[in-house]
Chain A
Amino acid sequence: MANGGQRDGQRGGWPERVGPEGGRPARAGLSEAILTFLERGVSLVVSSSDRANRPRVGRALAVKVPADGAWIGVCLDRTANAALLAAVAETGRFALAATEPSTHISIQLAGEDAIVTAADAEAAALAARHVDAFSAELALIGYSDAFTRALMAHDPATLAMVRFRPSRLYDQTPGPKAGTAVPP
């Protein structure tokens, strides 16, 4: 299925590739490079934990960063992620890992003040655009468009938006440095 090919022939490092770039305006306390990365066709997986410290896991459909916002919005399907959304509502704990499959570059953002909100009017279109971009990205490593669309299938009528302010940012590209903190 996947052929292991890498888009630029070289595994990118973090934070050199998408790390902080001085002078750019920051949204949600993140550099433009990181925001751009989040809006590419990356894999978006999320977690939370409930009051009993049981972890919850899910797959997100898109990331939204308002131009003037202090927060990041993460778009999820409610039907597929009921337990996760309940845990977020309960504890406010939230983590998002964004990974570019063709390069393995990966970052994790986490916060403690997450809230679950209704998806806004743009969410469905945002999710649709992200699925297109993710499909193009996965095509680079041999996955079919049908596979990606089945993986990301959701009901636009049942979307939720988790909003959080990232307080921690980690490099998660596989290797011994995975898990080290990166300046936002």
Chain B
Amino acid sequence: MSAATSASLTLDAIRACLEGAVPATIATCAPDGTPNVSLLSQVHYVDPDHVALSYQFFNKTRANILANPIAVLQLIDPPTAAQYRMELCYLRTETSGPLFESMKAKLAGIASHVGMQDVFRLLGADLYRVTAIEAVPGGAPLPAPVAQRSLLSATRRACEELRGCADLTELLDHSLCVLRRLFGVEHALILMPDAATDRLFTVAALGYDSSGVGSEVAPGEGVIGVAARERVPIRITHMTSDVAYSLTARDGAEDAGLTGGPAREIPFPGLDRPHSQLAVPILAGRRLAGVLFVESRQEMRFTYDDEDALATLAAQLGALMQALPPAEEVAPVPAACPQAGGAPVVVRHYAADDSVFVDHDYLIKGVAGAILWKLVRDHTTLGRTDFTNRELRLAPDIPLPDFAENLEARLILLQRRLAERCGVLRIEKTGRGRFRLVVTKPLLLQETS
């Protein structure tokens, strides 16, 4: 066999064989040479020199590799049926962490795909070094299908376009725009973390009936929550029946029970039956700045190459988020306060969780709720309409966690929720670091402790 690092054939060149679409074959042998052969449901690409195999049962293969670490795989390229052999050396088994979680999620999809959801369960990720790869001689592979797009080109252009964005709103909107235009993505979300609650909340959405802006995901919940917790891309290539990866079944009952009163959950907008899902953490330095999530009704829609492309885009997004200048330099320009007429609208605030209801309809909670409550109080008591980001950051009654873009993200969230859900209030940007609260009806404020 040729060396895996030789120019002729690399692990990266045959990654399509590792998508779990067609089972691979593994041969091992006991210390006395007794051979064993079996099919393998998952061979996971780790890096250009390593793969990981799923450890699901203690069987002969596993007994063999613990005693004699050499294994040989025969792999099949799904579109062409070309075959490759790969020689491996077993290194260790991981039972938690990023590698384990990314394999576990992917196996859930594979298991449902082949009708083995009650049988396949990941006990460990067996890590191997790849020592040799060869194409199986002979054979008559089918011609490779023509790729729909160049992911490398799309990534380059997307990164270039994002560089021109002036603020977080533009950055988020442009990200979704390039996902659709350059990557052909039809359904996407960007979520950002709330440092106070540890949860992620949706700030931008593409391709859903309801935007779901403001909907929340707990760390470890579904592909998004696991990607955030483990800081690793999580990708499922087939529809899974594993409820651990379902985000759309939640009904908000838990949330209502926690705080009392009416439900305060904004429904998660995800597809009912996604066949492919990919969640990529957005890191700003070492900090989690968000999660980029894409999904599709088509199985195998997102490959290793898509994962690499979106991870690169997310890295660029994270760096740009971190580099955004603080949007608070310019002093407010007071505007004439427009007279609001008609019957008053009741705005109710629950201090327990800063949730705000407008005429009994849930609007927002948490930091964004606290911001809105401050704005409407200042508006009704002081007649103010113009505000700055700086004063919100300094306001003692707004429990703002660290980081500059937390305020930006909350304002984006609030602005979008108001636009979607409230005909009475809206927020308009009036310049760098300042905005206006537009009120079209008299407000009657009610505080509930």
Contacts and interface: CB of A to CB of B under 8 A. Distances in A.
A joins B in a complex: yes
Interface of A: 1-6, 11, 43, 45-49, 51, 53-59, 77, 79-80, 82, 91, 93-97, 99, 104, 106, 108, 110, 112, 146-148, 150-151, 153-155, 158, 170, 172, 174-176, 178-179
Contact of B37 (A108, A175, A176): A108
A110 B35 contact: yes
Nearest to A80: B138
B85 A57 contact: yes
Contact of B138 (A55, A79, A91, A147): A79
A57 B72 contact: yes
Contacts of A91: 33
Interface of B: 21-22, 25-29, 31, 33-39, 41, 56-57, 59-60, 68, 70-74, 76, 78, 80-83, 85, 112-116, 119-120, 136-142, 300
Main secondary structure of the interface of A (DSSP, over half): mixed
A29 to B, nearest CB: 18
Nearest to B61: A179
B37 A43 contact: no
Contacts of A46: 37
Given A5-B115, A11-B115, A146 B28 contact: no
Main secondary structure of the interface of B (DSSP, over half): loop
A59 B83 contact: yes
9 contacts: A2-B113, A4-B115, A45-B37, A49-B34, A54-B72, A55-B71, A93-B33, A97-B39, A112-B34
B21 A2 contact: yes
A46 B85 CA distance: 13
Given A48-B27, A97-B37, A154-B139, 11 more contacts: A2-B114, A11-B116, A46-B37, A53-B29, A77-B138, A93-B33, A94-B35, A104-B116, A110-B35, A150-B81, A179-B60
A112 to B, nearest CB: 8
A57 B28 CA distance: 9
Contacts of A112: 34
Tell which of A3, A4, A57, A79 has the most Cβ of chain B within 10 Å.
A57
A154 B60 CA distance: 30
Contacts of B83: 59, 80, 151
Given A79-B138, A151-B83, A4 B114 contact: yes
Nearest to B138: A79
B212 to A, nearest CB: 30
Contact of A1 (B21, B33, B34): B21
Given A4-B115, A150-B142, A56 B38 contact: no
A150 B68 contact: no
A57 B35 CA distance: 9
Given A56-B27, A59-B83, A175-B57, A108 B142 contact: no
Nearest to B71: A55
Contacts of B76: 151
Contacts of B68: 53
B36 A47 contact: yes
B74 A57 contact: yes
A157 to B, nearest CB: 11
A55 B28 contact: yes
Contacts of A150: 80-82, 139-142
Given A57-B72, A59-B25, A170 B60 contact: yes
Contacts of A104: 114-116
Contacts of B36: 47, 55, 95, 108, 110
Contacts of A97: 25, 37-39
A170 B39 CA distance: 14
A148 B78 CA distance: 11
Contacts of B31: 53
B37 A96 contact: yes
Tell which of A46, A110, A150 has the most Cβ of chain B within 10 Å.
A150
Given A4-B112, A57-B74, A79 B137 contact: yes
A1 to B, nearest CB: 6
A57 B37 contact: yes
